[in-house]
């Protein structure tokens, strides 16, 4: 392995769970609003939400965890929610 190979080696892609765990641990907090929700044939509830960071608006979606589904009213359209986002990539977010 040469020196060039060290610098061109691709970083491993983190799993979705690793990404969520990192955001929940160290992401910045902001307030967002639920736009819509949808349930698929398997019963998974997906919510769509938006939030603003430094004057820029972002939209995202997330499949609710079993714990979050226990309080589905908190994730109904129009509800205000807390969101953690990545400081370096504001579009990377997760519902708290």
d(CA 58, CA 80): 15
Q: Kindly list the strands in the beta sheet with 28-39, ordered across the sheet, starting from the edge strand earlier in the chain.
A: 56-63, 45-53, 28-39, 80-85, 93-95
What digits encode the pLDDT tens for the residues 16-44?
A: 888 888 898 999 999 999 999 999 999 89
Q: Is the per-residue pLDDT at 1 higher than 60?
A: no
pTM for the complete prediction? 0.81
What digits encode the pLDDT tens for the residues 38-71?
A: 999 998 999 999 999 999 999 999 999 999 999 9
């Amino acid at each position: 392995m040469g020196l060039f190979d060290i610098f061109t080696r691709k970083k491993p892609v983190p799993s979705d769970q690793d990404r969520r765990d990192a955001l929940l641990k160290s992401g910045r907090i902001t307030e967002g609003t639920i736009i819509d929700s949808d349930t698929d044939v398997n019963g998974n509830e997906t919510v769509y939400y938006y939030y603003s960071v430094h004057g820029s608006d972002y939209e995202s979606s997330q499949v609710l965890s079993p714990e979050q589904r226990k309080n589905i009213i908190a994730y109904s359209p129009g509800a205000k929610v807390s969101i953690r986002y990545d400081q370096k990539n504001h579009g990377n977010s997760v519902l708290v």
